[in-house]
Amino acid sequence: MSDPRAAGVPILSVHEVRFRHHGAATALFEDLSLHVAPGEFLGVIGPNGSGKTTLLRLLAGVAGPAGGEVRLAGRPIRTIAPPERARQVAVVFQETRVLFNFSVLEIALMGRAPRLGRWGMERPEDFAAARAALAEMDLADQEDRHLHELSSGERQRALIARALAQEPRIVLMDEPTAFLDLKHRLQIYAILTRLNRDRGLTVVATSHDLNLAARYGSRLVLLHKGRVAADGPPASVLTAARIREVYETEARVERDAATGAPYVVPIAPVR
Amino acid sequence: MPPLTARRLWVSIGLLSAGFAACVMVCASIGSSHHTLLDLLRQDGGGETAAATILRIRLPRILMAALAGAALGASGAVFQAVLRNPLADPYILGVSGGAALGAFLATAAGLQALAPVLPVREAAAFLGAAATVGSLFLLSSAGGRLLSYPMLLIGVIMNTVYLAVILLIETVVDFTRLHGVRLWMIGSIPIEGYGLVGGLSVLLVLGVAGLSLSGRDLNLLSAGEDAARSLGVTVERTRLVTVLLASLVTAAVVSVAGPIGFVGLIVPHAARLVFGPDHRLLVPASALTGAIFLMTADTAARTVMAPTEIPVGVITALCGGPFFLWLYRRQGGGGYFE
């Protein structure tokens, strides 16, 4: 699964993409290319400002590149009608605040919007899909609560439920565990792994937590200064030399006896 | 509150419409002369004065107040969602002020002479409102995000400048009319002919219907711009369409009644408490609630100190100012606000 060529047509691919933030002096990406194979669990890592979130926005088709293109199953993603794109790709952004007093069920139902006519009301099957997604996220008994009353872990899960209610082929997650405690971090990753394994859902998740990314990702992409600095199985990407170069941090890389995944122990910033 | 269903949507709109009709009848029966609607039903039609008072004076004014309230309520709900700012309202943002300046300039330039052929005053008001919204978008966005507090500050500044320009021109042209202009600037409901009231009604019903049809997109926008895009919304198009429609209905009533404050702020929040946050219902519900609120406020304006009239804008500001502060303070509690 880690080699996209072995899996046939990539489900998402980035071709020679150029991107510059509005008003920025230099380009973030000059010539970025990478592939996501169907059914893989790809972890995107890299220091602050390396372009993880932007890569995710480009993959989601919510931002357009200045040059090159992103393709969804071979089709340029920016030429696909937004609702059709949204039936295939769901995104959970870092921003988890929602204005106004929407309930958890209403949030999950928002995931059904791409499957409804422009002005139609939600049908019974939409309620069923939204409730199934909430059950998957352990929120079945919370559907009447307002989103802003929830803890950050519950809120994050509600937004993942919205993504699942979209019944997508691909879920993109930006730092899905950024504000979560230990238990909820593991819980979110365990759920993603299960969906990936049982349903063949393709997952792309950015993370600052190298050890979580290494443990759950079948493949890691390390971004550095707008380039792919390394791409491959976690053990080949996470080496002490590369962490020193990219994160400017001295680290020891061990092997977790229980999971077999590489395990990074940071020691000190490089002076 | 359970999610919106077609049944709840239509039952709510039906109940609000019934409430609206009842309110029209009650307001038409209240006034400094003691004629009521029942007088009209008597054998002799209640006499000429009753008919004249109710049909030619009270009713057109009541309907005008209802139209103004509906426009401001609906556009307030829309601005709050599109600008992602729960403290937004056409008055606070300067949109009403821009419309007022446009209408005032058209009148000062003598363009009213064209009024029988072209709705110059209304068109100028729309240009003023649209220019204000355009500037708000340009000035209060940074890195593709709209910033809430700069937006409110810019709105306040634009309002002050608009008022200054209007007063300056009026001072130069004819200072004896300053008092009248000041009264108009705080908002008051005039008695207009049924022709204008009818025309505005058509515009408003179409405008509010159009805005309600964008309701689902407005819901998704509440979850953030990128989230809305990832759920299939074409954010730029939704923004353009809803902002232009909301500016249009706001400008239409401001050109007649002046910039009435705070209706667009209070009404959507009250409606949200009762009907929930779903904009497919919230927009029409805010229109009807706004109509009921402003009709009631205007009836109070013309009766509590009768025969002296208070401008209705004074009443809405006296209700709205404290409400705004309360709402602002509430921001500390939870993530209801951004």
Q: What is the pLDDT of residue B44?
A: 65
Q: Which among B231, B234, B338 is the nearest to A110, CB-wise?
A: B231
Q: What is the pLDDT of residue B179?
A: 67
Angle at A224 between CA A264 and CA A247, to 5 degrees: 35
| Residue with the two structure tokens 């590369």 | A242
Chain B residue with the nearest C-alpha to that of A111: B231
Q: What is the pLDDT of residue B16?
A: 96
Q: At residue A122, does pLDDT exceed 60? A: yes
Q: Do A93 and B224 touch (CB under 8 A)?
A: yes
**Tell me, what DSSP letter sits at residue B56?**
I
When comparing pLDDT for A184 and A79, which is higher? A79
Q: Which among B6, B276, B335 is the nearest to A121, CB-wise?
A: B6
* Distance in angstroms (rounded) separating the CA atoms of residues A158 and B202: 42
Q: What is the pLDDT of residue B143?
A: 65
CB A111 within 8 A of CB A166: yes
Q: What is the pLDDT of residue B289?
A: 95
Q: Does the structure's ipTM exceed the value 0.95?
A: no
Residue A211 confidence class, pLDDT cut points 50, 70, 90: confident
Q: What is the pLDDT of residue B331?
A: 56
When comparing pLDDT for A195 and B32, which is higher? A195
Q: What is the pLDDT of residue B115?
A: 67
Residue A226 confidence class, pLDDT cut points 50, 70, 90: confident
DSSP string, A8-41: SS-SEEEEEEEE--TT-SS-SEEEEEEEE-TT-E
User: What are the residue ranges in chain B where pLDDT is below 70?
Assistant: 42-47, 115-117, 143-145, 175-181, 330-338
Element (H, E) at B209: helix B194-213
Question: What is the reported pTM?
Answer: 0.87
User: How do the residues of chain B divide into helix, strand and coil, expressed in percent and rounded to 5?
Assistant: 75, 0, 20
* Chain B residues near residue A93 by CB distance under 8 angstroms: 224, 226-227, 230
**pLDDT tens-digit series, residues A139-158:** 999 999 988 888 888 888 89
Structure tokens at A194: 């299960």
DSSP string, A178-215: TT--HHHHHHHHHHHHHHHHHH--EEEEE-S-HHHHHH
Domains of chain A: residue spans and CATH: 4-269 (3.40.50.300)
Q: What is the pLDDT of residue A2?
A: 45
Angle at B22 between CA B21 and CA B27, to 5 degrees: 100
Structure tokens at B334: 């939870």
- Maximum Cα–Cα distance across chain A: 60
When comparing pLDDT for A185 and A130, which is higher? A130
* Chain B residues near residue A114 by CB distance under 8 angstroms: 231-232
Domains of chain B: residue spans and CATH: 59-328 (1.10.3470.10)
Secondary structure of A83-117 as H, E, C letters: HHHHHHEEEECCCCCCCCCCEHHHHHHHCCHHHCC
* Distance in angstroms (rounded) separating the CA atoms of residues B204 and B98: 19
Torsion region of A39: left, alpha or beta (phi above 0 gives left; psi -120 to 50 gives alpha): left
Dihedrals φ, ψ of A12, to 5°?
-135, 140
**Tell me, what DSSP letter sits at residue B46?**
T
For chains A and B, what is the number of CB pairs under 8 angstroms?
Answer: 110
Which of B78, B231, B281, B336 best probes binding to A when mutated, by most A CB atoms within 10 angstroms? B231
* Distance in angstroms (rounded) separating the CA atoms of residues A10 and A34: 10
Q: What is the pLDDT of residue B309?
A: 81
Which of A84, A99, A118, A179 best probes binding to B when mutated, by most B CB atoms within 10 angstroms? A99
Q: Do B223 and A98 touch (CB under 8 A)?
A: yes
* Chain A residues near residue B334 by CB distance under 8 angstroms: 148-149
**Dihedral angle computed from the Cα positions of residues B132, B138, B144 and B149, in that order, rounded to the nearest 10 degrees:** -60
